[in-house]
């Protein structure tokens, strides 16, 4: 199965296209100003730790210093360059959605700067160039040299696609040449992998873009070499000391780096969550091209471990700030969680790659959950404020006082010292259409819903719908005869299908046979669902989360008479009402449910003997991704069940 080119699909809906316009108009110009330190913004450290870089981005300044255009020192994280690359990638996708000469000019200038910063031999990483040039590729236990290279590659592919300009691609390929000269199976080359996965999936994308098999082989090498020699990092540290290149003697956590064994033997999601998921996406992409059964089996079992035991209902993952990591199964704390925006992006990607690999629809459900909830929560509706971690329950007072919540921000900051999430959000939204449709042989897959159009050399498909605001979809197909497989999401009910052709209905999809023309009309309902968790997930025990369509809902203070902690719901008697407002987004689907409010708060006592004391209450819920857009507020996703 393969993706369509982003040139072939256009979003036309209010929802995603609305977000894409916001990204083009507000987010991309704003992010440039931040990366260029040209506006006063509050750049916060991602958690309470005075040693972390904060106060400014300096990402473009680092490149200017490396290019010899400016004097100064490197500032920020050792992967600060990747912020610029992800910004460029989002800009490129945005140009595909709508041309913008001013943005394109800005991108060309940044690309010229990157070219100047690149060393003559192809190496490019401002942190190592400016702070420790003799340790290039020698501190892989933490280094993000290849992570940054991966983001450079992804940006270069996007910019080539959008503009046909190949300067950035040439920079990226020259860097890859340098990497290939230093890493590889040959004994004289480095037999280890970078501290943060990303190069693997990017190299497969480069292979897909250029057809150069060497890139696929190099991607495969990086997956194969990780964890092959679990002592690799200890040896590199010892060698640096021996050669007098460094005195650093860090303790390397192999689980954190997914380097405790080779990825193909891994059976659980362990360690740093984004690293894990970027690696798994790379593995799935390689398996698509090599049919490697070991990689496929590992991907399937890792995905299952996540989706069945380690994923929040919002599609975020990562249960602890310590190592930004997965913990054990069924450990999903709602207040101290990590749920970094990047994890949801990575989970959507991994799930999509698994769908392309196996054609199994379960992957699309998870991809959709991540996209419509945790990913979108990553940015405010002004497109200029960003969450790094995405709580499912918050009390701003607790955040202010409790050091264990130092990473949980009650409001989206202007920017972050570790700014991986904001441009990741932008590139994901700007390219969201690539998740909507896929193709294999003579089959077209419709994966997601939203007004959009595909135009290729051999067919056209128009999806007309007001979804998510309405419950009807019409599809008009014209082109070569082919099968159309339309996903049936788990949240559809009362489906009615009308078509000018024949179709068969399966549990998870509808299959149509299109001659040269086909019309399909679907009507369905999106009932308000009271979700419950597996009882092994004790952090959600005796609670319910409200979901409608792909959206998980939450309670926050505005619009509610009682404090959110007092809410109790009885799923059988929700009497839910869905209503559209212009409260947050111009079109927001809110939900009103009947429930009760505990009156025990009237007592001053902290503890007392049980007594039943509830009063009827109407609760107003909003889509989770929109929380935190109306000032400082408490917020909750999981709501206690009313005692009977």
Q: Which residues bind ligand FUB (CB under 6 A)?
A: 79, 144, 196, 274, 324, 340, 342, 418, 420
β partners of residue 286:
none
Residue nearest to Zn ion (CB): 342
Nearer to ligand FUB (CB atom), residue 194 or residue 292: 194
Nearer to ligand FUB (CB atom), residue 17 or residue 151: 151
CB of 346 to Zn ion, least distance (A): 9
H-only helix segments in 226-381: 232-242, 273-290, 293-305, 341-358, 362-370, 376-377
**CA–CA separation, 531 vs 519, rounded Å?**
34
Nearer to Zn ion (CB atom), residue 27 or residue 482: 27
Nearest to 642 by CA among 531, 528, 542: 542
Nearest to 49 by CA among 334, 410, 403, 420: 403
Interacting partner of 528 out of ligand FUB, Zn ion, none (Cβ under 5 to 8 A depending on kind): none
> Which residue out of 342, 420, 421, 567 is catalytically annotated?
420
The distance in angstroms from the start CA to the end CA of the chain is 50
**CA–CA separation, 379 vs 31, rounded Å?**
12
**CA–CA separation, 435 vs 448, rounded Å?**
7
* 162 contacts Zn ion (rule: CB under 5 A): no
CB of 199 to ligand FUB, least distance (A): 13
CB of 139 to Zn ion, least distance (A): 22
Interacting partner of 218 out of ligand FUB, Zn ion, none (Cβ under 5 to 8 A depending on kind): none
Nearer to ligand FUB (CB atom), residue 47 or residue 487: 47
- Contact with Zn ion (CB under 5 A): which of 344, 420, 475, 593? 420
What 3-state class would DSSP assign to 8? coil
Nearer to ligand FUB (CB atom), residue 196 or residue 369: 196
Contact predicate 287/357, CB 8 Å: yes
Contact predicate 80/117, CB 8 Å: no
Number of residues that bind Zn ion (CB under 5 A): 4
Q: What are phi and psi of 110, to 5 degrees?
A: -65, -40
H-only helix segments in 134-212: 145-163, 167-182, 199-210
614: annotated active-site residue: no
CB of 77 to ligand FUB, least distance (A): 7
Interacting partner of 418 out of ligand FUB, Zn ion, none (Cβ under 5 to 8 A depending on kind): ligand FUB
Interacting partner of 437 out of ligand FUB, Zn ion, none (Cβ under 5 to 8 A depending on kind): none
Q: What are phi and psi of 86, to 5 degrees?
A: -70, -35
Interacting partner of 216 out of ligand FUB, Zn ion, none (Cβ under 5 to 8 A depending on kind): none
Site string for Zn ion, 329-348 (x = CB under 5 A): -----------x-x------
Residue nearest to ligand FUB (CB): 274
Nearer to Zn ion (CB atom), residue 420 or residue 461: 420
Contact predicate 545/639, CB 8 Å: yes
Length of the chain: 644
Interacting partner of 175 out of ligand FUB, Zn ion, none (Cβ under 5 to 8 A depending on kind): none
CA dist list (Å): 631 to 391, 410, 584, 628, 638:
16, 9, 12, 6, 21
CA dist list (Å): 28 to 22, 34, 226:
9, 10, 35
CB of 147 to ligand FUB, least distance (A): 6
420: annotated active-site residue: yes
> Which residue out of 8, 46, 154, 324 is catalytically annotated?
324
| Active centre residues (catalytic) | 324, 420
């Amino acid at each position: 199965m393969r993706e369509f080119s982003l040139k072939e699909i256009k979003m036309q809906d209010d929802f995603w296209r609305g977000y894409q316009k916001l990204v083009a108009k507000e987010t991309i110009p704003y992010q440039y100003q931040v990366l260029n330190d040209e506006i006063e913004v509050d750049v916060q450290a991602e958690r309470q730790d005075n040693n972390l870089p904060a106060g400014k981005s300096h990402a473009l300044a680092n490149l200017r210093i490396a290019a010899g255009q400016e004097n100064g020192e490197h500032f920020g994280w050792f992967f600060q360059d990747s912020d610029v690359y992800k910004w460029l990638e989002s800009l490129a996708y945005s140009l595909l959605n709508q041309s913008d000469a001013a943005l394109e000019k800005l991108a060309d200038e940044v690309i010229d700067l990157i070219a100047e910063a690149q060393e003559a031999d192809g190496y490019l990483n401002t942190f190592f160039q400016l702070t420790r040039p003799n340790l290039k590729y020698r501190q892989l236990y933490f280094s993000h040299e290849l992570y940054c290279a991966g983001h450079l590659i992804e940006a270069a592919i996007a910019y080539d696609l959008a503009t046909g300009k190949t300067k950035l691609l040439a920079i990226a390929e020259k860097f890859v040449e340098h990497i290939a000269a230093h890493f590889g199976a040959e004994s004289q080359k480095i037999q280890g992998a970078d501290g943060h996965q990303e190069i693997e999936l990017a190299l497969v994308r480069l292979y897909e873009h250029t057809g150069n098999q060497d890139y696929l082989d190099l991607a495969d090498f990086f997956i194969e070499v990780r964890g092959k020699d679990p002592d690799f990092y200890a040896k590199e540290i010892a060698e640096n000391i021996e050669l007098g290149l460094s005195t650093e003697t860090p303790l390397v956590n192999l689980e954190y780096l997914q380097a405790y064994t080779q990825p193909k033997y891994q059976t659980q999601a362990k360690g740093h969550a984004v690293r894990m998921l970027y690696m798994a996406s790379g593995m799935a992409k390689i398996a698509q091209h090599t049919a490697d059964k070991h990689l496929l089996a590992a991907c399937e079992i890792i995905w299952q471990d996540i989706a069945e035991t380690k994923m929040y209902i919002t599609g975020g993952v990562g249960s602890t700030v310590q190592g930004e990591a997965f913990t054990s199964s069924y450990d999903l704390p709602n207040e101290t969680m990590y749920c970094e925006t990047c994890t949801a992006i990575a989970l959507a990607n991994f799930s999509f790659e698994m769908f392309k690999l196996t054609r199994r629809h379960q992957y699309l459900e998870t991809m959709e959950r991540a996209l419509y909830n945790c990913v979108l929560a990553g940015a405010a509706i002004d497109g200029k404020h960003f969450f790094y971690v995405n709580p499912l329950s918050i009390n701003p007072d607790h955040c202010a006082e409790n050091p264990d919540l130092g990473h949980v921000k009650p409001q989206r900051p202007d920017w972050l010292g570790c700014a991986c999430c904001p441009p990741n959000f932008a590139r994901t939204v700007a390219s969201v259409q690539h998740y909507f449709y896929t193709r294999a042989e003579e089959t077209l897959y419709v994966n997601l819903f939203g007004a959009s159009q595909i135009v290729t050399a051999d067919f056209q498909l128009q999806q007309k719908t007001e979804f998510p605001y309405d419950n009807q979809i019409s599809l008009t197909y014209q082109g070569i005869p082919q099968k159309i497989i339309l996903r049936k999401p788990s949240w559809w009910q009362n489906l009615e299908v009308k078509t000018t052709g024949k179709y068969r209905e399966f549990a998870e999809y509808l299959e149509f046979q299109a001659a040269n023309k086909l019309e399909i009309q679907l009507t369905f309902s999106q009932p308000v669902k009271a979700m419950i968790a597996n009882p092994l997930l004790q952090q959600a025990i005796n609670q319910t989360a409200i979901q409608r369509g792909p959206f998980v809902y939450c309670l926050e203070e505005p619009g509610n008479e009682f404090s959110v902690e007092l809410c109790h719901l009885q799923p059988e008697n929700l009497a839910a009402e869905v209503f559209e407002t212009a409260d947050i987004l111009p079109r927001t689907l809110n939900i009103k449910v009947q429930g009760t409010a505990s009156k025990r708060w009237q007592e001053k006592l902290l503890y007392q003997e049980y007594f039943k004391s509830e009063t009827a209450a109407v609760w107003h819920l909003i889509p989770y991704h929109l929380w935190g857009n109306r000032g400082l507020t408490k917020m909750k996703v999981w709501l206690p069940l009313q005692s009977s």
